[in-house]
Amino acid sequence: MLNNQPDNYTLLLLNAFTLYMLEYKNPRHLQEAENYLISAFSSIHEKESNWNDKKLEEVYNEVIEKLIDKNGELESSMKLNGFNFDFDSIMIKRLLNPLQKANNTLKNLNKILN
């Protein structure tokens, strides 16, 4: 379903939730779940223009609360693997991802032109 609707924040959150529930001991899957979370909140930010940052943070905290409530081992496993739930970090990464992609594109273009 996500292949057909890659910006659907509900599906992105569902994928993140699933990975956090089932694959929380695997660092690669934790990174993938975080990426889904970042994409979901980027999509929410774009699609829900009437939501301010405070509303976005409230929703984020609700999602995290449910994750931790459903999986008591999640937080300790994340800390062990160098991950944590931090709204500000997620929002910064949300802004940095497009910049990193643009930077990589410019690097590749420079290689082609040289």
The answer for residues whose C-beta is within 8 angstroms of residue 12's C-beta and 6 or more apart is: 2, 36, 37, 39, 40, 43
Residue 56 identity: L
Query: What pTM value is reported for the model?
Result: 0.77
> For residue 86, what pLDDT is reported?
86
* pLDDT number for residue 66: 94
pLDDT along the chain (114 residues), means of 10: 82 94 93 92 87 89 93 90 85 78 87 86
How confident is the model at residue 90, as a pLDDT?
78
How far is 91 from 12, CA to CA, in rounded Å? Answer: 16
Are 13 and 56 within 8 A, CB to CB?
A: no
How is residue 3 written in tokens? 């292949």
Q: Tell me what pLDDT residue 26 has.
A: 92
